[in-house]
Amino acid sequence: MYLGGLCFITDRKVCSLPYEDMVRLVLESGVKWVQYRDKEGSRRDIYRNALILRSITREYNAVLIVNDHTDIALAVDADGVHLGQDDLPAQKAREMLGRDRLIGLSSHSMEQAVDAEALGADYIGFGPIFRTDTKDAGSPKGTAQLARVRSRVHIPIVAIGGIHLENVRSVFETGIDAVAVASAILKGDIKENAGRFLDIIHSSGG
């Protein structure tokens, strides 16, 4: 399943638009991969929002990944789930989702990244690469450590954390497969920001 080099992550703390509005703007720019992340909503609200986003992403032939909630990802027929270190174990998620859906695992160290591949993850999210205020995921890892992880891990790597238009090229120079971005797309003109990211990523070979 081709995901492209840019994963857009929803974030209502950064942007007050409803999830469906921010996602539609991003998809109109050409993004093909959306990760629905909602740390504040009730499970009922997350399910309802995920249903709406599943419908919208289908309109644009885009991938929808649900953050944290494997059962909700399955219930709305999402393309997969992205799990943190404290979420449902990857093996149990695989039992629920089968082989046809994607499982991504957040990793914050070389050990976690290598373990994620061994556990059967389809891709890892690694970071934070740079300082970020979006979520507390520890100290910045930097592009040098990202390159080291790339040399050890053979499944796709999605870099995350503090990535913006001015530093995204340096991230792709490490050989990773994609970047995940929330704030740098949502602050300002969403559609224009996403389009500029895509232009830079495509010119960088991502």
- Active-site residue list: 37, 106, 135
Provide the β-strand partners of residue 171: none
Instruction: Select from 185, 135, 187, 186 the least CA-distant residue to 161.
Output: 135
The whole-angstrom separation of Cα 61 and Cα 117 is 27
Host H or E run for residue 67: strand 63-67
The whole-angstrom separation of Cα 118 and Cα 63 is 24
The whole-angstrom separation of Cα 91 and Cα 205 is 32
Contact at 8 Å (CB) between 37 and 63? no
The per-residue b/e assignment along 120-156, b for 16 or more CB within 10 angstroms, e otherwise, is ebbbbbbbbbbebebbebeeebebebbeebbeebeeb
Which residues are CB-contacts of 200 (< 8 A; sequence separation ≥ 6)? 165, 168, 169
